[in-house]
Amino acid sequence: MSEQKSARHVYRFGVGVTDGRSSMKDLLGGKGANLAEMAFAGLPVPPGFTITTEVCAHVAGGAKGNTELTLPSWLWPEIDAAMAEVERTVDAKFGDADKPLLVSVRSGAAISMPGMMDTVLNLGLNDEVCEGLAKRTGKARFAWDAYRRFLQMFGDVVMGVPRSEFEHALDAVKEAKGAKTDQELDEAALRDVVNRFKAIYRKHTGHMFPESPREQLERSILAVFGSWNGDRARKYREVQKIRGLIGTAVNVQAMVFGNTGPRSGTGVLFTRNPATGTKELYGEYLVDAQGEDVVAGTRTPSPIAKLHEDMPVVHEQLVQLAARLESHFKNVQDVEFTVQDGRLYLLQTRHGKRTGAAAVRIAVDLVGEGLVTREEAVANLVEPAHVDQLLHPHFADETGYRKQGRVLSKGLAASPGAAVGRVVFHAEDAEAWRAKGERVILARVETSPEDVAGMHAAEGVLTSRGGMTSHAAVVARGWGKPCVAGCGDIIIDYRTKTLTNGRVTIKEGDWLSLNGTTGEVVEGKETLADAVVSGALETFMEWVDGMRALRVRTNADTPKDAAVARKFGAEGIGLCRTEHMFFEDSRILAMRRMILADDEKGRRAALALLLPEQRKDFAGIFRAMEGLPVTIRLLDPPLHEFLPNDAVQQDQVAKATGMHVERVRQRVNALHESNPMLGHRGCRLGITHPEITEMQARAIFEAACEVQAEGKKVLPEVMVPLVGTVAELVDQKKLVIAMAEQVFTEKGMRVPYHVGTMIEVPRAALVADKIAAEAEFFSFGTNDLTQMTLGYSRDDIASFVPRYLDRGILTDDPFQSIDTEGVGQLVRMACERGRATRKDLHLGICGEHGGDPRSITFFADVGLDYVSCSPFRVPVARLAAAQAALRGKVKAKQGEA
């Protein structure tokens, strides 16, 4: 890039004029934009200027790591002019010994980003200036301390001299002087330190320390730009999925000093309590200190409330400034401040990070105080993750176990919340221990439908294999039960009933704690704290619901789950999987009889046993969802999932069914599939075994009639899975309609119902125009659609997807956040083609993506009618849907303008 993008590359603030604003974060970085905004708002900000991110792109664009960078010549006049204005404003001069101006140099991208060069303070000092500073302030010790700090920071941060060298030298001087703290060093000692630091600098860089303030400045600016492409920053951007930024800005600002004596100090504060949301100043400060002292932890800061005693005027100023900041930024602010000789300066402000409970309370309070509108509160003040956090228990002490080194391993944060229990390794053990009143954690290599009862009995589930949409993860999320999945570092040995991370071995019965929100597996018994739910949440969610067009349904298979989801605001069931019902004790045997039967007659006999059970389940769900639609998916998984693989259980099945064990084994083998995900499942089962579809349809309509007879409104929707051709849907729909008519005749009543299909096979999306001629609704099964569109078996991706994410070949796990470019294209195509055929085609999505905020934004954009997600994700989805709608409004307005 040889052209200059903007006319201006240096933006001034607090020098009479202020060029920037908070909306210019892309150009000025977050820190620079907010400094400008504060200065513009008349807040006490030391003057300075920001060099734009475009300059960074120009200077460091293609470069990596250690390339030698240079500043373009056209930049200097702008820097010099801005510096001159700063000098005029503070009545001092950069590099002038008489009236020395010292500056700080800080990086600042549009998104906060650790790993870049952070801060150089006191820049502009050299021997001569230092003497001048001492003279002018009358504080020689202060001046030499500032100098040695500058040398240390410049050497370490800008030039890469090992920090420990400086520390050793400082320690040596302290030891020689018998000083215990830095404070005890006098001017002479500090002069000694400065000399030693210069020697260290020279030894490591091969150059003299640059006495020229201009060279110091240039080197510091280039170091900031260079750090943008440093390994740590690149890695951070990769991990945090930060994309689309062109570089970091550089902020050069007049220094103010918190370490000039007892009337000085430095601190950080939140304008409200970030843990609870209470309206109170929250933070801490140190008297006679620079910012780094707060961070270093060598002195213990005081709580902000104490400032009232130490500096009552400053405290009062801060209270007023906090109100102005909130009013100006329409959000809680996280502020850095410095007091120099009784005068207060704000050095930085940003939106304050907060807990879920605080976020909701703050949002409601700020609306109440008239600071923000409800729309602004919903759009900006609460994140979907905040709501999620509110719904799950957490550890009472969220950091202690880390400090104590009790984290055994970290897996995927597959289902949020915290769980504590004694570890067991088999589903049956989980049930048995639970029955004895024990809290247990179930640890498995991976789980299968056979483990469901044991998973239910457990407080939490840990697996060493499988991804975010593995069986364990999906089932646990459905129940709101904490789960850490795919924890590959942990080896689980069923034989010895132990798990180990290679260092520590946990035996059956030992206590284990799982943090499903972070993925941490913690040795020992943590204390749990309940979720903090306030009335504020209810208020907030009412606003949310008023702002969204996208409905939110739930995936629920039992009356209990349905009731939970309804409590969380679900507006119907988008996916009721019927297969989980078949795994319960009494039913699995009938199911197995059905599968093992020699002919249709035998299958029908076994199905007759399942019919009353299914009817009972459906009736319970219809009651729980009274008045709301319930989408029931016909049997989906391949039949072999219902048969045991091990010889012992096969023997049991043989005994229970009275069949020869060899026959059972043969049948299991015959049902084996090379790629079950692409095998004999979904509507393929219903077509080869129409009696299954008929039984399920009968159970649905009999239950619907039963509940309707109780005076309750029932809205069943029968969903045919895995349709790829319209002929499949026609076949199954015919069976369903015939059965509906038969039942209605038998019962002497009619129930309104719909028949529709999953769109989860790529072909279905391609021929959606044809399928829509037969389907009254589409529900996108984005799990399968993702598997087939990308060709990724979600059970097998652990071997390559992490590497793909590392290398940026994928930006997200496509099973967590929908692949809008590929899978999304098929979703969009199916919607358009489907609606072209049937204008009122009802569209929803019931894959795991239905609970993912980023995916929800996409679904809202495509124009779906609803998303369906697990009960505990319903509130999250409601918020995400409202935020998507608000963003849509903003876009539409921009489009008009």
Positions in the binding site for a second copy (CB under 8 A): 673-680, 684, 687-688, 722, 724-725, 727-728, 731, 760-763, 766-767, 784, 787-793, 795-796, 799-800, 803-804, 807-810, 819, 821-823, 825-826
Structure tokens at 28: 């000025």
Distance in angstroms between the alpha carbons of the first and the last residue of the chain: 32
Indicate the helix (H) or strand (E) that contains 194.
helix 187-205
Tell me the closest approach of the beta carbon of residue 804 to a second copy, in angstroms: 7
Beta carbon of residue 498, minimum distance to a second copy (angstroms, whole number): 17
Give 799-837 as a DSSP string. Answer: GTHHHHHHTTS-SS-TTTS--TTTHHHHHHHHHHHHHHH
Alpha helices in 330-437 (DSSP H): 356-368, 374-376, 384-390, 400-403, 427-435
Other CB atoms within 10 A of residue 95 CB: 21
Q: Which is nearer to a second copy, 300 or 799 (CB)?
A: 799
Q: What is the 3-state secondary structure (H, E, C) of 44-61?
A: CCCCEEEECHHHHHHHHC
- Who contacts 291 (Cβ-Cβ below 8 Å, separation ≥6)? 119, 121, 258, 266, 336, 338, 347
Distance of alpha carbon 11 from alpha carbon 17, whole angstroms: 10
Q: 456: buried, middle or exposed (CB in 10 Å: 19+, 13-18, 0-12)? A: middle
If the CB atoms of residues 106 and 794 are measured against a second copy, the closer one turns out to be 794
User: Residue 46 or residue 762: which is nearer to a second copy going by CB?
Assistant: 762
Smallest separation (angstroms) from a second copy to the CB of 535: 47
Kindly tell me which of 258 and 824 has the beta carbon lying closer to a second copy.
824
Min. distance of Cβ 622 from a second copy in angstroms? Answer: 31
- Residue 483 is a catalytic residue: no
Give me the residue label for tokens 């679900």.
570
Place of tokens 């028949």: 755
Q: Which is nearer to a second copy, 21 or 684 (CB)?
A: 684
Q: What phi and psi, each to the nearest 5 degrees, are found at residue 745?
A: -65, -45
**Shortest distance in whole angstroms from residue 57 CB to a second copy:** 22
> What CA–CA distance (Å, rounded) separates 137 from 98?
10
Q: In this structure, how many other beta carbons lie within 10 angstroms of the beta carbon of residue 176?
A: 10
With respect to a second copy, which residue has the nearer C-beta, 92 or 759?
Answer: 759
Q: At closest approach, how far in Å is the CB of 604 from a second copy?
A: 18
Shortest Å distance, C-beta 821 to a second copy? 6
The alpha-carbon radius of gyration of the chain (Å, integer) is 33
Q: Which of 392, 471, 842, 849 is catalytic?
A: 471
Angle between helices 874-896 and 853-862 (to 10 degrees): 50
Residue whose structure tokens are 């290398």: 807
> Is the Cβ of residue 365 or residue 819 nearer to a second copy in the bound state?
819
* Nearest distance from C-beta of residue 635 to a second copy, angstroms: 14
Min CB(238)–a second copy separation in Å: 13
In terms of CB distance, is 68 or 821 closer to a second copy?
821
- Give the β-pairing of 93-94 and 100-101: parallel
Nearer to a second copy, 397 or 598 (CB): 598
The catalytic position among 487, 683, 705, 846 is 846
Indicate the residue among 179 and 766 with the shorter CB distance to a second copy: 766
Residue 304 CB neighbour total at 10 angstroms = 19
**Rounded-to-integer distance, Cα 393 and Cα 460, Å:** 12
Cβ-Cβ contacts under 8 Å for 529 (sequence gap 6 or more): 393, 394, 395, 396
> Do 47 and 90 form a contact (C-beta atoms < 8 A)?
yes
Q: How far apart are CA 557 and CA 870, in angstroms?
A: 10
Closer of 375 and 796 to a second copy (Cβ): 796
Contacts of 867 (CB under 8 A, 6+ apart): 550, 551, 552, 553, 574, 844, 845, 849, 850, 851, 856, 859, 877, 881
Q: What does the block give as tokens for 474? A: 């999906």
State the nearest-atom distance from the C-beta of 729 to a second copy, in Å.
10
The pairing of strands 407-410 and 394-395 is unpaired
Q: How far is CA 789 from CA 325, 762, 781, 786, 794, in A?
A: 49, 6, 12, 5, 12
Q: Minimum CB separation from a second copy for residue 660, in Å?
A: 16
Q: Which H/E stretch holds residue 409?
A: strand 407-410
User: How far is residue 444 from each of residues 30, 171, 490, measured CA to CA in Å?
Assistant: 45, 52, 10
| CA–CA separation, 443 and 411 (whole Å) | 13
- Inter-CA distances, 149 with 58, 144, 210, 658, Å: 31, 8, 15, 85
Active site residue 471: yes
- 64: buried, middle or exposed (CB in 10 Å: 19+, 13-18, 0-12)? exposed
Kindly tell me which of 52 and 779 has the beta carbon lying closer to a second copy.
779
Name 552's bridge partners: 867
The structure tokens listed for 235 are 């890695």
By C-beta, is 738 or 892 nearer to a second copy? 738
Minimum gap (Å) between residue 412 Cβ and a second copy? 17
The amino acid present at 610, given as its one-letter code, is L
In angstroms, give the least distance from the CB of 130 to a second copy: 52
So which residues are the catalytic ones? 471, 846
